[in-house]
Amino acid sequence: MLATLIELQRLKRLERTGWALRGLPNGTESVASHSFGAGVTAMMLADEVKARGLEVDCERGLHMALLDDWAETRVGDMPRTATNYFGAAARKTAETLAFADIVSGVGAGESEYKSLYHDYEQRGSLEARLVKAADVIDLLIQAYALEHSGARGLDEFWQAAHDADFDLPTVAQEVVRGMLRSLLDARNKIK
Amino acid sequence: MLATLIELQRLKRLERTGWALRGLPNGTESVASHSFGAGVTAMMLADEVKARGLEVDCERGLHMALLDDWAETRVGDMPRTATNYFGAAARKTAETLAFADIVSGVGAGESEYKSLYHDYEQRGSLEARLVKAADVIDLLIQAYALEHSGARGLDEFWQAAHDADFDLPTVAQEVVRGMLRSLLDARNKIK
Amino acid sequence: MLATLIELQRLKRLERTGWALRGLPNGTESVASHSFGAGVTAMMLADEVKARGLEVDCERGLHMALLDDWAETRVGDMPRTATNYFGAAARKTAETLAFADIVSGVGAGESEYKSLYHDYEQRGSLEARLVKAADVIDLLIQAYALEHSGARGLDEFWQAAHDADFDLPTVAQEVVRGMLRSLLDARNKIK
Amino acid sequence: MLATLIELQRLKRLERTGWALRGLPNGTESVASHSFGAGVTAMMLADEVKARGLEVDCERGLHMALLDDWAETRVGDMPRTATNYFGAAARKTAETLAFADIVSGVGAGESEYKSLYHDYEQRGSLEARLVKAADVIDLLIQAYALEHSGARGLDEFWQAAHDADFDLPTVAQEVVRGMLRSLLDARNKIK
Amino acid sequence: MLATLIELQRLKRLERTGWALRGLPNGTESVASHSFGAGVTAMMLADEVKARGLEVDCERGLHMALLDDWAETRVGDMPRTATNYFGAAARKTAETLAFADIVSGVGAGESEYKSLYHDYEQRGSLEARLVKAADVIDLLIQAYALEHSGARGLDEFWQAAHDADFDLPTVAQEVVRGMLRSLLDARNKIK
Amino acid sequence: MLATLIELQRLKRLERTGWALRGLPNGTESVASHSFGAGVTAMMLADEVKARGLEVDCERGLHMALLDDWAETRVGDMPRTATNYFGAAARKTAETLAFADIVSGVGAGESEYKSLYHDYEQRGSLEARLVKAADVIDLLIQAYALEHSGARGLDEFWQAAHDADFDLPTVAQEVVRGMLRSLLDARNKIK
């Protein structure tokens, strides 16, 4: 377990490549910071969805949100454009192999973590799809916060807010769409 | 929900004061990065403890790990020495008030989050105590990682590894102690 | 004396929390840098006020400007909102206790430094009030400089420029108000 | 030409992932900085080798050194371990495709740049092999400089200094080996 | 050769003073990163000019572009305003002396490097003038990239784009002017 | 007055070149932070010397400590080696000219500030020599603090601690020497 946790410390220093490539300064957001943001967002979404009567396995969702980016300690935080050149399938395969090596010997959770990682990558369950929505929402809130403090040149990220379709049941979709709408409204006020 | 998530973005940029005060460079660790580390550690500890037969409410634990540091968006990341001058009780009261304001209007989870925060601050449940252990372990692994890359002057942190008593049931205590022992062994190899 | 000076080195690395919480990058301003700015501003204000015929003890003022933030090595750079949760009195008490510990054993100046710190906290003398004005002016000039290089989202700081009443004698008040007016004019040109 | 040069600005901000993963602070080395170092080293090696009587096409070599890392604007600075999961061939293919897109429309040099990139990737010419040696030497001098200022935990990089075989003609090999030997000597003095 | 290369590592960390003085964050651009940018720009310009039928010694040009800023390891990256106080002649003399010390003992290239440095400083050859144009163009593209991501207050740099006269033959001048025009057009779109 | 204060904000961001050239990370120490450190040290030294019966004009000393580095907004923070190439006299002349331009129009203090700057540069008075001692002591305490947190390669700075002769009266010399001795003792404990 310790070896894995030592390796995961690396995510605290690894910068999110997307911001660096757009000229934002070092320290804008670490991969670990983003995972925290996605985790918190997933937690709030799940709790809200549950309160509206749809069953969600929150423990499962939080596991997925927290382990989503571990492979980056070995393959780095590849920008979205990298997928154009490697292909989405090759990228998933490589990241899955890296994830398996990272959790090798982690202890009791090893096989469960691999199974959760696979579910998340496949968007197989409601929890996986909700965590994916949380991942995108945290990205957009970060973009909003950066724009609020003066950053420019981030328009392309916002396309995601319009295109977003996470294939969710109606109740969950309403929560997610409501949040995206509020975020777009907030952004319009600072543009 | 959105207002709270926007405010929590601040934790991605807020430096952990303890490192800054010891002369380590900016970007060493954000509060959000630490929360990620504590969350992942709590997850692994809980899964390991459960596998050894002790019931743990992991969903509850992960909630606590993720929301533990939210008050810092309003009171900052106060160093440990601040407690000597404010008093532990005043510090807890202030942070609890700040937490309540932050989650005000967060939606379905609001009262549950306040109750979890209170439980964590009181170390009332097994989950709270396990998350506290995870919080300390992540701090020590970060210190180890820093020393591994050349940092010095961090001896005082390691006292925690020797003093640590998290008031845990035997099974959980064995897992925590085992991890601390492995960490001290790893550190001895690089000193 | 040496122990105090070693401890004060920490202020060179400690980031001003207010900028971090507003999403500005690490390295925006250290506490020591701000103290330098406040010290220089206090010096210029005092020299100008003296030239206009009002007696000011500049040595006393510069002492106050330089020692104003020492307590932050032990309690951190708490954001303004922290006062809402701790209370202004508790905050002053804690910082005064921390200051006393820091200067303990500093040598000849110890009791004088405590007395100056107390005067500054109470805004008891003309010098204390002039240094407080310098502290606010340096904050606003820093905000202006940040906006000049592209930062946004700092409007709330400027309220201070309008509200500012430092309870100064007419001569000093004219100097301070004149500077704030010039600063607001400069800002209007870049908005 | 301009579109390519704008895109290449990104390399000035992109951190070399290898240092970040080993806990070194942001700002340690940008990809552009490394390309500068490799370019200067290649220039000196080529000039030295030429002075010893072996023909080298220095213009060709400098082109290769300067364009070696352009693909990273689209695929990021992948750590060495990424190759274990993607495979060396897939990585080369992806980077070659990215390079081709980046230089598309660059003007007169486009086809020559693609040909030089291919030569470098294949280590087909003396110049390609000499530039590869320069690339490794700059990495090691950077590691030495980091260790000289206190960094630790970089031992694995130095294996390259022992294993290095760049398949060079005798004259060039002597120059490269001589430099590596001097570097190892310098390192022994600071360990 | 090694001593020189070790010393040149310093350029990877040395910030370009011009950005720091305008309030841009640390990590904006190192001197080494700028040299990379100027080198790449010089390469493209030379290749384009050659393709249009004008002979250029590209090897010579790339040497100049790469060694242009070496003196900064010993005199620092002096801002443009420094020349007002030292005088242009004194500045050139000092930098030339520093350059000579840096390349002392570099090996086969020493006297050639000094001669190239002198040529560049005097703008004696077509290559020197083309590299100077590349140096200015890289500065402006960096300014554009910074403005694209939100930086403000950089207007004074753009004067160079209007004033630029690099005393080039018609063919080269057309290439340089064409690039500056495109850059100004791009800037107009984001203002 | 405002124009000067706006210009001096630049010192908060300007890195001390000496640390950057030795491979220490950005954010190690700004020029403004160093001026704060020198100011505080000068204040303590003066207060201690006065308490031992030697008359010191502390107001005059603090003025000098605070304005010592203003010229760097226009000439940059030149490393010590720059003096070898420009000559000490040319450097002083240039910095004095820059200082005069910076304080031009500062208001009541202008001519006094120029006179104080001149006195400091000439080390003409006891105050000037005491402030020079404070400047060196702050440099060494910063070096000590950096070594305490893991930095290496700073030995050359410590020569100053042995060579230091500030041409002070006996009482002041005892205070300064006592502090340097204590600092060397502290350093020996962490080497």
- Mind listing the pLDDT tens digit of every residue in chain F (191 residues)? 999 999 999 999 999 999 999 999 999 999 999 999 999 999 999 999 999 999 999 999 999 999 999 999 999 999 999 999 999 999 999 999 999 999 998 988 999 999 999 999 999 999 999 999 999 999 999 999 999 999 999 999 998 888 778 999 999 999 999 999 999 999 999 98
B12-68 tens-digit pLDDT? 999 999 999 999 999 999 999 999 999 999 999 999 999 999 999 999 999 999 999
Residues 6+ apart with CB under 8 A from D143: D154, D157, D158
Cβ C85–B79 below 8 Å, yes or no? no
| CB contact at 8 A, C158 and C143 | yes
**In which residue ranges of chain D is pLDDT below 70?**
none
Residues 6+ apart with CB under 8 A from A138: A34, A37, A38, A40, A41, B5
ipTM of the complex: 0.97
State which residue of chain F sits closest to D25, comparing Cα positions. F25
**Strand partners of residue C30:** C15
* pLDDT value at A191 more than 90: no
The pLDDT assigned to A9 comes to 98
Work out the mean pLDDT of chain C and round it to a whole number.
96
Residue E145 touches partner A, C-beta closer than 8 Å: yes
Cβ B36–A66 below 8 Å, yes or no? yes
A171-184 tens-digit pLDDT? 999 999 999 999 99
State which residue of chain B sits closest to A31, comparing Cα positions. B33
F91-128 tens-digit pLDDT? 999 999 999 999 998 988 999 999 999 999 999 999 99
The pLDDT assigned to B162 comes to 83
Residue C159 touches partner E, C-beta closer than 8 Å: no
| CB contact at 8 A, B89 and C90 | no
E112-130 tens-digit pLDDT? 999 999 999 999 999 999 9
E80-115 tens-digit pLDDT? 999 999 999 999 999 999 999 999 989 889 999 999
The number of C-beta contacts closer than 8 angstroms across A and B is 154
Residue C97 touches partner B, C-beta closer than 8 Å: yes
* pLDDT value at B163 more than 80: no
Residues 6+ apart with CB under 8 A from D140: D157, D158, D160, D161, D180, D183
Cβ atoms within 10 Å of F160's Cβ, excluding its own: 14
List the single residue in E13, E78, E98 with the smallest CB-CB distance to F20. E13
CA–CA min distance B105, chain D (Å)? 37
| Packing angle, helices A88-103 and A110-122, rounded to 10 | 160
State which residue of chain A sits closest to C143, comparing Cα positions. A149
| CA angle centred on A90, ends D105 and D19, rounded to 5° | 75
The pLDDT assigned to C78 comes to 97
The pLDDT assigned to C162 comes to 83
| pLDDT band at residue A164 using 50, 70 and 90 as cut-offs | confident
User: Does pTM surpass 0.90?
Assistant: yes
Residue E94 touches partner F, C-beta closer than 8 Å: yes
**Strand partners of residue C15:** C30
E157-175 tens-digit pLDDT? 998 888 778 999 999 999 9
List the single residue in F30, F112, F179 with the smallest CB-CB distance to C1. F179
Question: What's the whole-number mean pLDDT along residues B76-95?
Answer: 97
Q: Which chains form contacts with chain A, at 3 or more CB pairs under 8 Å?
A: B, C, D, E
Residue D148 touches partner F, C-beta closer than 8 Å: yes
Work out the mean pLDDT of chain A and round it to a whole number.
96
Question: What's the whole-number mean pLDDT along residues C129-139?
Answer: 97
The number of C-beta contacts closer than 8 angstroms across D and F is 24
The pLDDT assigned to A165 comes to 87
- Distances in whole angstroms, Cα of residue E134 to Cα of each of C175, E150, E172: 49, 24, 11
Place of tokens 């000049």: C148
State which residue of chain C sits closest to F108, comparing Cα positions. C48
CA–CA min distance C103, chain A (Å)? 34
Residues 6+ apart with CB under 8 A from E144: D6, E183, E186, E187, E190
Residues 52-91 (C) with a CB less than 8 A from some CB of B: 73-79, 81-82, 84-86, 90
List the single residue in A6, A40, A63 with the smallest CB-CB distance to B66. A40
| pLDDT band at residue A64 using 50, 70 and 90 as cut-offs | very high
Residue D153 touches partner B, C-beta closer than 8 Å: yes
How many angstroms separate the CA atoms of E72 and B140, rounded? 41
Q: Which two tokens stand for residue C155?
A: 């409007």
A35-48 tens-digit pLDDT? 999 999 999 999 99
CA–CA min distance C85, chain F (Å)? 30
**Chain D partners within 8 Å of E34 (Cβ):** 12
A65-117 tens-digit pLDDT? 999 999 999 999 999 999 999 999 999 999 999 999 999 989 889 999 999 99
Residue E190 touches partner A, C-beta closer than 8 Å: yes
The pLDDT assigned to F99 comes to 98
**Chain A partners within 8 Å of D97 (Cβ):** 84-85
* pLDDT value at E39 more than 80: yes
Residue D150 touches partner B, C-beta closer than 8 Å: yes
List the single residue in F27, F66, F107 with the smallest CB-CB distance to C39. F66
Residues 6+ apart with CB under 8 A from D17: A14, A76, D76, D77, D78, D79
- Distances in whole angstroms, Cα of residue B139 to Cα of each of A66, A107, F18: 18, 21, 32
State which residue of chain E sits closest to D7, comparing Cα positions. E145
First to last CA, chain B: 46
Q: Which two tokens stand for residue F49?
A: 């010397």
Q: What percent of chain C has pLDDT over 70?
A: 100
Give the closest residue to A122 by CA, choosing from A181, A35, A63, A64: A64
**Chain D partners within 8 Å of A81 (Cβ):** 74-75, 98
Q: Which two tokens stand for residue B54?
A: 């002790």
Q: Which chains form contacts with chain B, at 3 or more CB pairs under 8 Å?
A: A, C, D, F
D126-170 tens-digit pLDDT? 999 999 999 999 999 999 999 999 999 999 999 888 877 899 999
